[in-house]
């Protein structure tokens, strides 16, 4: 058998513990796949007194220098949060000649290009499957699709917290604040839930997907990002009576040689794959030119789903093309038609010039056709509709 693969873990919270336990419990499977043992040699923590490892041969430290100076070190796994010190740690690891794997979507959204460039220079790889949608293998799926297909659009529920809140507001008729409190009580939302409910978390994930799909990020200043805190329980009930559900969806599409990125509440009809995605589940709908539509659904976070993504990156550690892979002219169109629901007494007064009213659905509710180039012009009176126009039936009176 070949010499062991020596791994260091940065962070021993939910994700770090999941990776540690998975490596320990599935060592036989990993050895069969890799032809060698995967050995955790060190774990970096903030406070040593709060942690204890079952294997005393593993270095437990609060000093990164103790890890980067280990004689035999092959892979460094980032399971901490925040841009720094994670970015600096991974830079040092790559310069040392280590492969790196990260679950840190905020850091990676900001610094993925730099890390990929440095890794290429040093002849190592960067694994980032765990940065998007937890246990859903979206990154590797996209890379395989891009071999023959041109991905034209992606729509996804990328944050389990916001999806859980919207589900409970609809199913249990909770106010937003009560649904958020429930999410916090169950551990689905942080004490400061801003990243989740305002769409920052989903946006970081969309940025990462954009680099994989198109080799470039969307313009952060032009991207549309709208949270869910303004959605009212009565609006959820109203649209439910029309057969529509609120979902917080991230969307990516390349038009006019720019990447259009939105993260916003949308209305989803039963005809769309995201309609049935509930609670903390994540899902991604991929539209490609040959295969058509593909939907992936699964747990978007948690100890073992995220650990699963990291372990898969370990398996593919020698896959040298594991950086952005894209086709220069892929998925480019002048614009794309979109459907919107205009809602409110004065909703028709502020429509963009390109918009066209298709039909009245109910009192103060219209189905409208618009242009993707006008995304930013549709304010909070309008909700994008996912699903075809025929799936929304006009009604005389909504109860």
User: Residue 13 pLDDT more than 70?
Assistant: yes
Higher pLDDT, 94 or 344: 94
Domain(s) labelled CATH 3.40.50.720 in the chain stretch across: 5-127
Instruction: Cite the residue boundaries of each domain of the chain with CATH code 3.30.360.10.
Output: 138-300+325-391
Place of tokens 């840190």: 104
pLDDT of residue 247: 98
Any idea what DSSP says for residue 32?
Answer: H
pLDDT at residue 397, rounded to an integer: 54
Confidence of residue 318 (pLDDT cuts 50, 70, 90): confident
* Residue numbers annotated as active site: 205
Contact partners, residue 100, CB within 8 Å, separation at least 6 = 75, 76, 77, 78, 90, 93, 94, 115, 119, 124, 125, 126, 127
The widest CA-to-CA distance across the chain, in whole angstroms, is 74
Range with lowest mean pLDDT among 107-111, 145-149, 207-211: 145-149
Per-residue pLDDT of 280-289, as tens digits, reads 999 999 999 8
* Span 224-249, average pLDDT: 95
**Correct CATH for 5-127 of 3.40.50.2000, 3.40.50.720, 3.40.50.11610, 1.20.200.10:** 3.40.50.720
Measuring CA to CA, which residue among 338, 335, 361 is closest to residue 348? 361
> pLDDT tens for residues 254-268?
887 789 999 999 999
Q: Which two tokens stand for residue 352?
A: 């963009």
Beta pairing, strands 292-299 & 75-78: unpaired
Confidence at residue 374, expressed as pLDDT on a 0 to 100 scale:
65
Cβ neighbors of 317 (< 8 A, separation 6 or more) are 5, 75, 99, 101, 125, 127
376 vs 243 pLDDT, higher one? 243
Q: What is the pTM of this model?
A: 0.92
Going by C-alpha positions, the residue among 52, 15, 22 that lies closest to residue 40 is 22
Which helix (H) or strand (E) segment holds residue 177: the answer is helix 176-185
Please determine, for residue 43, whether its predicted confidence score (pLDDT) is greater than 60. yes
The confidence score (pLDDT) of residue 382 equals 85
Does position 76 have pLDDT exceeding 90, yes or no?
yes
Mapped onto helix, strand or coil, the DSSP state of residue 340 is strand
Q: What's the pLDDT tens digit per position in 150-196?
A: 888 999 999 999 999 999 999 999 999 999 999 999 989 989 999 99
**What pLDDT sits at residue 261?**
96
pLDDT at 258: 87
Angle between helical axes of 14-25 and 303-315 (0-180°, round to 10): 60
- Write out the two tokens for 92: 């040092």
Residue 324's pLDDT band (boundaries 50, 70, 90)?
very low
CATH 3.40.50.300 is the classification of domain 138-300+325-391:
no
Give whichever of 92-106, 348-362, 365-379 has the largest mean pLDDT. 92-106
Whole-number Å distance between alpha carbons of 348 and 382: 10
Q: What is the pLDDT of residues 332-368, one digit of tens each?
A: 555 567 899 998 888 888 788 778 999 999 988 999 9
């Amino acid at each position: 058998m070949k010499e062991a693969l020596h791994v260091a873990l940065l962070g021993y919270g939910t994700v770090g513990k999941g990776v540690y336990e998975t490596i320990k419990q599935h060592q036989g499977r990993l050895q069969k796949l890799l032809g060698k043992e995967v050995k955790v040699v060190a774990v970096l923590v903030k406070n040593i007194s709060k942690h204890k490892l079952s294997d005393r041969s593993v270095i437990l430290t609060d000093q990164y220098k103790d890890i980067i100076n280990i004689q035999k070190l092959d892979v460094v796994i980032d399971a901490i949060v925040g841009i720094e010190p994670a970015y600096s740690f991974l830079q040092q690891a790559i310069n040392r000649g280590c492969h790196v794997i990260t679950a840190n979507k905020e850091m990676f959204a900001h610094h993925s290009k730099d890390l990929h460039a440095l890794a290429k220079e040093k002849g190592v790889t960067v694994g980032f499957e765990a940065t998007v949608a937890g246990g859903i293998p979206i990154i590797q799926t996209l890379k395989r699709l891009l071999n023959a297909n041109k991905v034209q659009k992606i729509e996804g529920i990328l944050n389990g917290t916001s999806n859980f809140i919207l589900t409970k507001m609809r199913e249990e008729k909770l106010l937003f604040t009560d649904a958020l409190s429930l999410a916090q009580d169950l551990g689905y939302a942080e004490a400061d839930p801003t990243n989740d409910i305002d769409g920052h978390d989903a946006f970081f994930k969309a940025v990462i997907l954009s680099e994989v799909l198109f080799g470039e990020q969307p313009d952060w200043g032009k991207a549309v990002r709208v949270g869910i805190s303004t959605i009212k329980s009565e609006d959820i009930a109203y649209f439910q009576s029309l057969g529509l559900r609120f979902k917080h969806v991230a969307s990516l599409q390349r038009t006019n040689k720019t990447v259009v990125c939105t993260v916003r509440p949308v209305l989803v009809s039963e005809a769309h794959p995201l309609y049935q995605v509930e609670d903390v589940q994540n899902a991604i709908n991929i539209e490609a030119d040959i295969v058509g539509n593909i939907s992936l659904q699964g747990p978007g976070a948690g100890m073992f789903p995220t650990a699963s993504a990291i372990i898969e990156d370990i398996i593919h550690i020698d896959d040298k093309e594991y950086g952005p892979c894209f086709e220069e002219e892929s998925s480019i169109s002048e614009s794309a038609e979109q459907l919107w629901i205009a809602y409110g007494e004065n909703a028709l007064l502020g429509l963009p010039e390109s918009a066209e009213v298709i039909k009245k659905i109910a009192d103060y509710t219209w189905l409208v056709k618009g242009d993707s180039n006008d995304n930013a012009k549709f304010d909070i009176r309008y909700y994008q509709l996912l699903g075809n126009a025929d799936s929304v039936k006009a009604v005389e009176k909504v109860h």
